[in-house]
Structure formats: C-alpha cells, structure tokens
Chain A
Amino acid sequence: MRSKFFPFILILIFIIIFLFFYKGLSNYNIYTPNINVEKDIPLFSANLFESNVEVNSKEFFDPKKLYLLNIWSSWCVPCRDEHALLMDLSKNKNITLIGLNYKDRPDNAKNFLNELGNPYSQILVDETGTKAIEWGAFGVPETFLIYKNKVIKKYIGPLNQQLLVEIKSLIK
C-alpha cells in the first residue's frame, strides 16, 4: 500500500524543491543590495569637505532633485576604478553627485581628487565611519540613488559600465 503512493509523494517533494529553487533564482543575489530600496534617507548631520560647515541631511537633500550618493575613500582601490564612471556621470545635468568621504585623511582625499578629478558637487565628511553606518553601508565603495528623500537604489561595490547604463536609464 505504502509503496504505491511513495513515488507520487517523492515527485511532489521534488516539485516543491523545484519551485523553491525557481523562486530563488529570480532573487537578484550579488551580495544582496535591494533591501534598502524605497527607504527614507537617514537623519544625520555632517561637515562639508571644503568649508567644514555642518549640514543637516533633511535640509541638504532637495526632494525635487535626483541625487547619487557615493561613499568613497582615497585608500580604497575599487573607488579608483569607478571614479572615471562617476566623472562621466557628473556631466549629466539631471543628477547631482554627492560624495561621502569615508574614514579618510583630508590631504589624501584632496590629492585623490586632484589626480583623478572631482565629480561631486558636494562632499560630506565621515571621519569616523559612523555616517556610513547610518546609511546602512557595508564598506566602500557604495552608491545610493536618492529621490524624494528616499533611497531608490543601492549598489554595493564599484560601479561598472553596465550599472552606469542602468543608472542613466533611471535618470530618464
């Protein structure tokens, strides 16, 4: 009696496993970024890189504009890689690039920008690394797309050509 149903039960189990795997496939899975999507930007205050003026995040981000916040550091090798892409992106008028300088020395950061160019319209300073934590960043570089005071997209690790195309299509 048991053996008659057994194959069907087995097949059923495998179908369920199949469905799980199938579902799992559609989850985008490189170091799991999309969790923070559509989340409000964190409240924090930070100093500006050049003027050392303290700004508040709620006043700093204009809800009508599209922002790209990039966490970077002069000691971070992948940041160097993605820098050219950021420079390219900074030519685009529809998006404002904000840098968050992470655990860096001001001199090194300045040298870095002098050498490779400055794509950011404003740079915030995060000397202790606490602001990056507020943003929910795991490391450098990380990039956030912000619109209406919400994080609409988050990229962990250096940007590449493919992601740049994606960002550009989002801007439109």
Chain B
Amino acid sequence: MLSSTIGYYSLILGLCSSIIIFYFSIINYQDKILDTKILSFTFLQLFFVIISFLSLVLSFINSDFSNETVFNNSHTTKPLFYKISGTWGNHEGSLLLWQLVLTLFIFIFLLKSDNQSKQYRILTLLFQEIIIIGFFIFIIKTSNPFNYIYPIPKQGLGLNPILQDPALAIHPPILYVGYVGSSIIFSSVLAATILNIISREWASHIKKWVLVSWIFLSLGILFGSIWAYYELGWGGFWFWDPVENVSLMPWLALTALLHCIIVLEKKIVLTSWVVILSITTFTLSMCGTFLVRSGILNSVHSFANDPERGLYILIFLFSLIFLSIFIYFFFHKQNIKNNNNFFWLSKETSILINNWFMMYFLSVVLIGTIYPIFLEVISSQKISVGPPFYHKLIIPFLFPFLLAMAIGPNLKWVKSNMENKVNLILFFVLSIFVSGFVLKNLDQKFLINTVLLSSAFYLFFITIRDLFTKNFKNFSQNVAHFGFSLLILSILLNNFFSSEIIINLKVGESFENNKTKIIFNDIVQNKQKNYVSIIGNFTVENFDGKIDNLKPELRIYNQPNIITSEADIKTSFLSDKFMVMNSVQNQEYFNIRYQVKPFMIWIWISVVLICFGGLISFFKKKNEK
C-alpha cells in the first residue's frame, strides 16, 4: 500500500523533472557551457524512476495485492525469483523497466559525452526527453503500475507459468537495453544532422552506443530463443512468430548501421545510410512495442489488449517518424564530392552490398509481419505467414550473401585487386567437396542444399583462415564473422539432420524402429510449491548401443491453472536429444515426441561468439588503420 503510493508519486515527480530538463535545455541551448542544473535534474529523473521501480519490485516481493499489477501477475506461492521477475513480466512493469533504462542511458550519455560539442549534447538530450516524457505520460495515463484495488484480494492471479523460466526472467531487461540504446542513437543522429556534424569523430563516439545496443539486442534475442526451445516444447528455436520478427527487424537494421558506422569512422561516406538506418532502428523498436503491446498481434507476448494503449503508442510513434523525416529532409546535406570515389572492388562496396542484403532481409521480415494485419483491415481475411514464406524468400539470397561476407572483409579500403584469388577459389572448391560429402546421404533437394551448405562452409573456412593469418588485426570483426558462419552452419546442419519420432505410449510400453528404441519405464508424481509435477521415465537405446535416460515433465500449475510441458534435453557437443510428453485425453496414454537435433548447442555458442566480437570492439581503444 505504502510502496504503491511512493512509486506512483515518484513517477509523477520523474515526469516533472523531465519537463524541467526540457525547459532548461531550451534555455541553455544558446549558452557556451552546459548548465550543471541539467545534469543534476537528469540524475534526479533517474533517481525517481529507480525509486518507482524499486517500490514496484517491493510490492511484488511482499505480495501486496492491493496493487492491481501485483494482483494480476503474482501469487504468494511463487518462488521469490519469479516474484521479482514478475515485475517486468507484465505490461505495466515492463514499461517501468523501459523507462528505467531510458533515463539511465541518457544520464550515462551526458556523463560520457564531455568531449562532444555542447549544442550537440543539449540537442540529443532534448530529443531523448521528448521520448522520455512521451513514455512517462503513457505509463501514468494508460498503464499505471500502481493502481489500487479495494477490497484487497487475499490471493493473486499468478504469473503465467510458461513465463516462469530463468531465461525469460532476464530476456526482457536485456532486450530492453538493446531497444533503448537505439533511442540514444536516434536522438544523437537527429542532433548531429541538425548541427551537420556527422563526421569521423562523431562516428567513433556513437559507435560505442551502437555496439552496446547491438550486443544487448543480440543477447536478448538469444535468450528469447533459448526460452522458446526449452519451454515451449516445440523443439525449435525460431518460429518466425511476429513477436520474434519484431526483435529481429531492429537487429538487422542495427547490424547494417554498425557496418556503416565502421566505414564512416574511416572516411565520410554513407552518411545518409547512417542517418536513415539509425532512424529505422529506433522506429522498428518502437513499432515492436506497438505491435506487442496493442494486442494487434496474437502471441505469447501480448499481455494486454487495450486499444487505448495501442492508439497512444501509434500516435507517438508516427509523430517521431514525421519529426525525423522532417529533420532528415530539411537539414541533411549529402557530401556529393565524396560519393564518386567508390571503386567497385573495395571494402566500402562490400559493406554497401551487405547493407542491401540486410535491407532485403529486413523487408521480407517486415512484410511477413505486417502484411497479415493489412490484409485483415482491407478484407477481414485472416492469413498467417509461416516459415515457408520466409524460407522461400530468404534462402536463395543467403548464398550470395554468405559469399560476399567471406570475400568482403578480405578487400582493402578504397581500392583493391585480388591478389589471393587462387587461395579464395581453392577454398571454394574445398567447401563444395566438403558439403557434397556431408550431404551425400540426403536424397531430397541435394543440389540446393549443397549450394547452400558450401557457401556456409566457405564462409566458415575463410573466417577460420582469417582468424589465424591476420595476426589479430581486426580481431573483433573476425570473431563476430566467425560466430556468424558457425551460426549459419549449425542452423543448416541442424535443419538437414534433425530427426523426429512422435508416438503415443503408456507406461511399460516401448517403441522401436531401425535406429532407436524408446521404452516408457514408469511415471512419478510429486508436489512442488506452486505446481504438481508428473515425470515420465524413458530409456532411449540408439542403434550404436548408446543408452540415454530422458525424463520429460508435465507441470500442472495451480495459479493460474495451466499445464505446461517441460522438455528433457540431453545436450552434447554433437547433438541434443529432446523429449517432451503431453497428456492424451483418455489418461493412460501419453503423447511422446522424441527429437535428435544435431549441433543445437553450437547455435547458442555462435551467437555468444558474435556478441563477444562486439564486446572486443567495444573495449578496443582506438581503431587500427
């Protein structure tokens, strides 16, 4: 009760300090030095949001059901960890977290940007405050996390059990850091465009922020997929679900932006790309918030379906878009003289090619995500765009993309001629042979799969060679690209060699085919704190004599009453053995799904490697020439 009051009023105070900052920034704009009051108020704004956030966390820990958010999303029998993570497992709390990251980032930005011009810092702050104020009003008006309920309920409704998972507890905060980091890039780009200071120095300053949001966005997506893999029990890690796409789209734009910034650090080219990509990244992040929060999409993530909220974000989003379009066309000046000295075989060209590929992938995902919405509006027809759509449109372009990615980094800036072509061609022949050998037992679609796999192998070999021959020059890029090649390679091999058995069994029965034998030994039931668990005990014998014990679990949660199935996964370096069971209506039988998924763990490892590459780049002092 008390903490809700404190939380609510600190939100209001936070909004007040944002407005004060906004006002001071406008007054201070013409002065020579930054007013110290601005810095103090930025700290104050952060402080109030922290207080507000902590009081919500406290309400969750104490199970204070006089608070509506707590009542809707918590329960006394929930473990402490999930009580805390329940804070951002809902619409209201997650917005508060979003606000926390926003205010934290602008504070860090002000501290870390001493060496930049004062006007630039003030302008960035101004744009950032517009966003912050927008979100403050959004929270207070439409999704106040501190609403009272009277009479006070005795018990809460509980957190959706599929959200009670460690990977998902940290997934939203990490993703938010990525999203919100892009807001700093957005504000900073608008400021730099107005002042016309897009330069090499600016590029190396903003590169840190691009890297931070890129790393966190990648990690956020990774945790999301790990969660989907372990918890949803469908045996996949990426489903082209609209909400997954919504996090992938800013990632694609941000990746393209990162590459442009690297070029911009060397010479003043691609400035329009940088501006447009920065705007796009942030717009897509906001668009993601809109799509997820408005209930316009159906998905595990859509918490609440409140059209008022959707309308607010929609108007807010489009005001920001129009503002940035206006600033771009009004202030942005092309450096025409610099645009001509692109030689066709240079690093710049290859990065430009990379950008176009990214834009292509981005538009495929974008169309796949919003086309169903548009179609429904026009014809009230429901369609769902599934994996086949994305596969058909993306896979053919993966081949040239991977080749370009292998060759591109080996080119020099400005102009290069292929000295080591023999070497590159040799590697290509090698990869064709390797993939032909790997796929020789696969009868279907041999040609296209070989082509695809050989391009993946090619990138893999080239990046390995670069790792060792380049004496750690450009080490971060090598690691990230190596990670990416590993990612594509593991995804492809995983796709080609996964196998699946689906059967109905009851206790004591067994199933056998020419490769595997599955025996259903027994079933154990026990009661946990907030659910009843039913654990099946299975023995899986492989044809090569290996024996595994798998124990998939069914959980019957009491608050709210939901059954989830926990897959049992035996992970090894070569493959994952994945088993889930589901109850069948007439009780005795269980539906068993057993999958062997090769190289699963390498998918996770490779994403970590990609992020690690970004991290190295972040801590690198000065870029080598």
Residues of A at the B interface (CB closer than 8 Å) are: 6-7, 10-11, 14, 18, 20-32, 75, 77-78, 80-81, 103, 105
In the complex, chain B residues whose CB is within 8 Å of the CB of A25? 294, 296, 307, 310-311, 314
A27 to B296 alpha-carbon distance, docked (Å): 8
B377:A11 contact, CB within 8 angstroms: no
The reply to whether A14 and B561 contact each other, CB–CB distance below 8 Å, is no
Which residue of chain B lies nearest to A102 when distances are taken between CB atoms in the complex? B585
Q: Can you list, as one digit per residue, whether each of B256-296 has a CB less than 8 Å from chain A (1) or not (0)?
A: 00000000000000000000000000000000001000111
Q: Do B296 and A21 touch (CB < 8 A)?
A: yes
Q: Which of B125-133, B318-326, B399-407, B594-602 contacts A (4 or more CB under 8 A)?
A: B318-326
Kindly state the separation between the CA atoms of A20 and B314 in the bound complex, as whole angstroms. Answer: 11
A18 in contact with B314 given A27-B376, A80-B561, A81-B561 (CB within 8 Å): yes
**For B329, what are the chain A residues with a Cβ–Cβ distance below 8 Å?**
6-7
Given A10-B325, A18-B318, A24-B376, 19 more A-B residue pairs with CB atoms under 8 Å apart are A7-B329, A11-B322, A14-B318, A14-B325, A20-B374, A21-B314, A23-B377, A25-B307, A25-B310, A25-B311, A27-B376, A30-B298, A30-B305, A32-B382, A77-B556, A77-B562, A77-B563, A78-B561, A80-B561
Q: Is B605 an interface residue (CB 8 A)?
A: no
**Is the C-beta of B373 less than 8 angstroms from some C-beta in chain A?**
yes
* Given the contacts A24-B296, A77-B561, A7 and B325 also touching, CB distance less than 8 Å: yes
Q: Is the Cβ of B585 less than 8 Å from the Cβ of A103?
A: yes
On whether the beta carbons of A31 and B298 are closer than 8 Å, the reply is yes
Residues in A whose Cβ lies below 8 Å from that of B560: 81
Chain B, interface size category, equals 20 to 34
Q: Which residues of B contact A75 (CB under 8 A)?
A: 585, 587
For the complex of A and B, 5 pairs with smallest distance between CB atoms = A7-B329, A23-B377, A25-B310, A24-B373, A18-B318
Q: Smallest CB–CB gap between B584 and chain A, Å?
A: 9
In Å, the complex CA distance between A32 and B380 comes to 11
By a CB distance below 8 angstroms, the chain A residues around B382 are 32
Q: Which of A11, A26, A28, A30 contacts B325 (CB 8 A)?
A: A11
Nearest CB in chain A: distance from B285 CB, A: 16
Contact A29 B298 (CB under 8 A): yes
Q: Which chain A residue shows the least CB distance to B306?
A: A25
Cα–Cα, bound, A30→B295 (Å): 8
> A6: nearest residue on chain B (CB-CB)?
B329
User: In the complex, A140→B307 CA distance in Å?
Assistant: 27
| Bound complex: CA A28 to CA B311 (Å) | 13
Nearest A residue to B308, CB-CB? A25
* Residue numbers in B under 8 Å from A26 (CB-CB): 307
Q: How far is the CA of A29 from the CA of B325 in the complex (A)?
A: 31
Q: Which residue of A lies closest to B291 (CB)?
A: A21
Q: Which residues of chain A have C-beta atoms less than 8 A from B562's C-beta? A: 77
Nearest-Cβ distance from residue A10 to partner chain B, whole angstroms: 6
Scoring B321, B377, B587 by chain A CB atoms within 10 A of each residue's CB, the highest score goes to B377
- A89–B503 Cα distance when bound, in Å, is 41
CB distance from B292 to the nearest CB of A (A): 13
A162 to chain B minimum Cβ distance, whole angstroms, is 12
29 A-B pairs (CB sep. < 8 Å): A7-B329, A14-B318, A14-B325, A18-B318, A20-B373, A20-B374, A20-B377, A21-B314, A21-B373, A23-B377, A24-B296, A24-B377, A25-B294, A25-B296, A25-B307, A25-B310, A26-B307, A27-B377, A27-B380, A29-B295, A29-B296, A30-B298, A30-B305, A31-B298, A32-B382, A77-B561, A77-B562, A80-B561, A81-B561
A2, B562: Cα distance in complex, Å? 58
Give bound CA distance, A103 to B298, whole Å: 28
Bound complex: CA of A25 vs CA of B311, how far in Å? 7
Report the Cα distance A107→B326, complex, angstroms: 70
Instruction: Output the least CB separation between B308 and chain A (Å).
Output: 9
Specify which chain A residues have a CB less than 8 angstroms from the CB of B311 in the assembled complex. Answer: 22, 25
Interface residues of B in 129-181 (CB under 8 A from A): none
Task: Report the bound CA distance from A10 to B328 in whole Å.
Answer: 12
By a CB distance below 8 angstroms, the chain A residues around B556 are 77
CA distance A21 to B378 in the complex (A): 11
Chain A residues contacting B296 (CB-CB under 8 Å) are 21, 24-25, 27, 29
B residues near A30, Cβ cutoff 8 Å = 295, 298, 305
Q: Give A105 to B556 CA distance when docked, in angstroms.
A: 22
Q: Select from chain B the residue with minimum beta-carbon distance to A78.
A: B561
Q: What's the minimum C-beta distance from B565 to chain A, rounded to whole angstroms?
A: 13
Shortest CB distance A127–B (Å): 12
Flag B538-573 by CB within 8 Å of A: 1 or 0 each: 000000000000000000100011110000000000
Query: What residue in chain A is nearest B309 (Cβ atoms)?
Result: A25
A22 touches B298 (CB 8 A): no
Expressed in whole angstroms, the Cα–Cα distance for A11 and B322 within the complex equals: 7
Near A by CB (< 8 A), chain B positions 382-410 give 382
- In whole angstroms, what is the CA distance A14 to B298 when docked? 24
Chain B nearest CB, measured from A32 CB (Å)? 6
Which chain B residue has the least Cβ–Cβ distance from A31? B298
B295: chain A residues at CB < 8 Å are 29-30
| Bound-complex Cα distance A14 to B315 (A) | 12
Residues of the B chain whose Cβ atoms lie less than 8 Å from the Cβ of A18: 314, 318
Q: Mark B174-202, 1 if CB is under 8 A from A, else 0.
A: 00000000000000000000000000000
Cβ contacts under 8 Å, B318 to chain A: 14, 18
Nearest residue, chain A, Cβ from B328 = A7
What's the minimum C-beta distance from A28 to chain B, rounded to whole angstroms?
Answer: 8
* Given contacts A18-B318, A78-B561, A29 and B305 within 8 Å (CB-CB): yes
User: Contact: A14 with B321, CB < 8 Å?
Assistant: yes
State A20–B311 Cα separation when bound (angstroms): 12
Cα-based distance from A30 to B310 in the complex (angstroms): 14
Q: CB-CB < 8 A to B380: which residues of A?
A: 27
